[in-house]
Amino acid sequence: MRVLVLAASKKKQLRPIDDPFVATGPSGVAVRDRLKHLTPEDEKVLRVVGEHLGHLASLDLKARCADGLDHSSDTWAARKQGLTAESSSRWAGSLTKATHDQWALSRRCQLAHIQNLEAGVRTLMHRLSQPIGEKGTKRAPGGYRSKGEWFHKSRRLHMLEHRLEAARTEREAGVVRVVRGGRRLMNKRHNLAAAQLTETQWREQWEAERWFLAADGESGKRFGNETIRVTPDGEVSIKLPAPLADLANAPRGRYVLASKVAFKHRGQEWADRIGQNRAVAYRIHLDVGRGRWYLTASWQRPVVKTIPLDAARAGGMVGVDTNADHFAAYHLDQHGNPVGDPKRFWYDLSGTAGHRDAQVRHALTQLLHWTNSTGAKAIGIENLDFAAEKTREQHGRKKRFRQLISGMPTGKLKARIVSMAAEQDLAIVAVDPAYTSMWGDEHWRKPLISNKRKMSRHDAAGIAIGRRALGHPIRRRTAPPQHHQSDGAGPRTLQAGPGAQGREETRHPATDRSQELRARTEETRTRATSRTSKTVRDVRSDQVRVQDSLLIT
């Protein structure tokens, strides 16, 4: 029997749960404003400059990819020197830096692709090694259901191994695959009907995405940027490349746009920065669908100092469970007690990327406003990352589940909620997502259901996340027997703080009870007659001892 118990306990062993931590604040800022009232001459100049610099950016990216792992500071300087003659020193610096960042991003994506292929190969090899029809466990999948499925999966294993070998070879050689303008937009060219685009519309988007009108800031220079300069009153001017200097309408080869900008969001912060001649990067781009030009300003700032974890927990916590179509939130006090009713903030992740992004922003705004209304100073959220769990081999035939976790905006959510919460002076506490939905449903959903409150599995998960962020165990306090409760047979399942009325009296320390017992023994009174217990359980045990002594006598 003992061997079976030990085997069962070993089989149900849970993985270690990481400690919660306060997420660091944002390290950069970006604001955007529309360039209104542009003249036809302004749009012509922007198109010509963007096309010219975009061509140079394509040539520089080709040269960088050809260098591969042999890239060095000398080759970087040589590329910059070659671009300077066709543009300017500052434009060449912006071009080479953008190229380097794009190549580095492709390398990171290549590594993630290799890790994804490795995970798929491991899963396929494990399942193919199992007998056909072998049932799986929670920790490892079983075998395939039929010989036909086993055969098709063996073919897929050979295909993934071939892809993995080719990807590793390319990575060792420093070969990356980059598409200026985006691979997704490039693939739309082969299926214009599904993209609801004509060839002319696609061509306009393709050319606009390949333009280059971005300049990095320079600290110490006038208004923080010499290439694309924006004055405090909103005047925008561009330093033209050397071959296009004849298009200038201002001294020193500059072109001043007729439109002015006024950043309504963070406008004062931007004005203070350019007033001190601190670096500000600018990017001009065209939204082909709307026919509008925009100017985006961005700059770095020191990372926002986060408050200690104990300070974040002092005012309670709002636990948030992230789902495919809504956030399920629940407010908890500092002792881990649910307060009020659950809240849900819905969003729709269908449609275009802009629509999905707007939906996430709107839901997060509602969540932050509600959190401020509760008085809590922190939000507990799961540290989700489905990078290695959304492959076909990991979940088999669960296609809807794969689509579900692939559709969750985990990466975008992390970036947005941290930056938006910092503006509201709220802390973000990231917790381990292990077992939150299962344990929340087990311990919290049923006890909180009433005639006026409906609880879902996601609402209970929000409580579990909040309690883990507060440092409390997820499970509720085990209630004593019904007749031993201070309020009769009613349930006492929620924890209460020391100052809450109606709370059960705390048991005195053992030292106090020993002193009382010593004083009573000195008065030559027996324990059975002198001791008066404050709990029903001890009184019953004393009565049993007295009855036993009477029977013996």
Of the candidates 229, 223, 215, 10, the one whose C-alpha atom is nearest the C-alpha of residue 92 is 215
Residue 217 pLDDT more than 80? yes
Quick one: tokens of 288?
A: 């082909």
Neighbours of 477 (CB within 10 A): 13
Overall average pLDDT of the 494-502 stretch: 57
Query: So what's the pLDDT on residue 394?
Result: 54
pLDDT in tens, 394-442: 555 566 655 555 556 666 677 788 888 888 889 999 999 888 999 999 9
Query: 336, 495 in Cβ contact below 8 A?
Result: yes
pLDDT in tens, 440-474: 999 999 989 988 898 999 999 999 999 999 999 99
Query: 339, 333 in Cβ contact below 8 A?
Result: yes
In a domain, 198, yes or no: yes
Considering the domain architecture, whether residues 273 and 315 belong to the same structural domain is answered as no
Q: Which of 470, 499, 524 is the last residue of a domain?
A: 470
Phi-psi domain of 30 (left: phi exceeds 0; alpha: psi -120 through 50; beta: other) = beta
Quick one: tokens of 166?
A: 């080719």
What are the residues facing 320 on neighbouring strands? 329, 381
Please, what's the largest Cα pairwise distance for the chain?
Answer: 122
Considering the domain architecture, whether residues 286 and 383 belong to the same structural domain is answered as no
Tell me the residue type at 421.
A
Tell me the residue type at 427.
A
Query: So what's the pLDDT on residue 23?
Result: 85
pLDDT in tens, 347-362: 887 877 778 788 888 9
Angle, CA of 428, 434 and 440, to the nearest 5°: 85
CA distance 33 to 51: 22
Query: 128, 153 in Cβ contact below 8 A?
Result: yes
Residue 495 pLDDT more than 70? no
Considering the domain architecture, whether residues 139 and 203 belong to the same structural domain is answered as yes
Considering the domain architecture, whether residues 83 and 226 belong to the same structural domain is answered as yes
Residue with tokens 């020197």: 81
Phi/psi for 181 (5° steps) reads 110, -15
CA distance 463 to 194: 43
Query: So what's the pLDDT on residue 416?
Result: 82
Residue with tokens 């165990």: 473
Considering the domain architecture, whether residues 289 and 354 belong to the same structural domain is answered as no
Angle, CA of 339, 343 and 348, to the nearest 5°: 160
pLDDT, mean over the chain: 83
Query: So what's the pLDDT on residue 306?
Result: 72
In a domain, 53, yes or no: yes
Considering the domain architecture, whether residues 179 and 216 belong to the same structural domain is answered as yes
Residue 10 Cα distances to 2, 15, 135, 535, angstroms: 12, 11, 19, 38
Tally of domains in the chain: 3
H-assigned helices in 134-234: 147-173, 183-188, 192-195, 199-210
CA distance 55 to 40: 23
Q: What whole-number percentage of the chain has pLDDT above 70?
A: 78
Angle, CA of 334, 339 and 341, to the nearest 5°: 150
What are the residues facing 30 on neighbouring strands? 298
Higher pLDDT, 10 or 216: 216
Starting at the edge strand found earlier in the chain, the sheet holding 427-431 runs 21-22, 427-431, 378-382, 317-322, 326-332, 338-346
In a domain, 5, yes or no: no
Considering the domain architecture, whether residues 435 and 520 belong to the same structural domain is answered as no
Helix, strand, coil in percent for the chain, rounding step 5: 50, 15, 35
Considering the domain architecture, whether residues 274 and 316 belong to the same structural domain is answered as no
Query: So what's the pLDDT on residue 526?
Result: 45
Considering the domain architecture, whether residues 294 and 380 belong to the same structural domain is answered as no
Q: Give the domain CATH number at 380.
A: 3.30.420.140
Overall average pLDDT of the 211-222 stretch: 93
CA distance 396 to 54: 44
Q: Which of 300, 327, 357 is the last residue of a domain?
A: 300
Q: Which of 300, 319, 342 is the last residue of a domain?
A: 300
In a domain, 34, yes or no: yes
In a domain, 488, yes or no: no
Overall average pLDDT of the 8-23 stretch: 70
Residue with tokens 């671009």: 83
Query: So what's the pLDDT on residue 83?
Result: 95
Query: So what's the pLDDT on residue 325?
Result: 85
| DSSP letter, residue 490 | S
* Full domain range(s) for residue 255: 28-300
Quick one: tokens of 485?
A: 């409760």
Neighbours of 442 (CB within 10 A): 15
Query: 295, 15 in Cβ contact below 8 A?
Result: no
Element (H, E) at 191: none
In a domain, 360, yes or no: yes
Query: 479, 492 in Cβ contact below 8 A?
Result: yes
In a domain, 179, yes or no: yes
Of the candidates 221, 223, 188, 225, the one whose C-alpha atom is nearest the C-alpha of residue 204 is 188
Phi/psi for 4 (5° steps) reads -65, -40
Considering the domain architecture, whether residues 291 and 352 belong to the same structural domain is answered as no
Residue 493 pLDDT more than 60? no
Query: 145, 420 in Cβ contact below 8 A?
Result: no
Query: 474, 362 in Cβ contact below 8 A?
Result: no
Considering the domain architecture, whether residues 339 and 289 belong to the same structural domain is answered as no
In a domain, 346, yes or no: yes
Quick one: tokens of 437?
A: 């939905």
Overall average pLDDT of the 81-104 stretch: 94
Considering the domain architecture, whether residues 122 and 224 belong to the same structural domain is answered as yes
H-assigned helices in 487-535: 510-522, 527-530
Give the pLDDT band of residue 34 (cuts 50, 70, 90). very high
Residue 523 pLDDT more than 70? no
Predicted TM-score (pTM) of the model is 0.72
Long-range contacts of 260-269 (CB under 8 A, 24+ apart): 260/233, 260/234, 260/235, 260/236, 261/33, 261/34, 261/35, 261/230, 261/234, 261/236, 261/295, 262/33, 262/234, 263/31, 263/32, 263/33, 263/297, 264/33, 265/31, 266/29, 266/31, 267/31, 269/29
Overall average pLDDT of the 156-163 stretch: 96
Query: So what's the pLDDT on residue 366?
Result: 95
Query: So what's the pLDDT on residue 295?
Result: 97
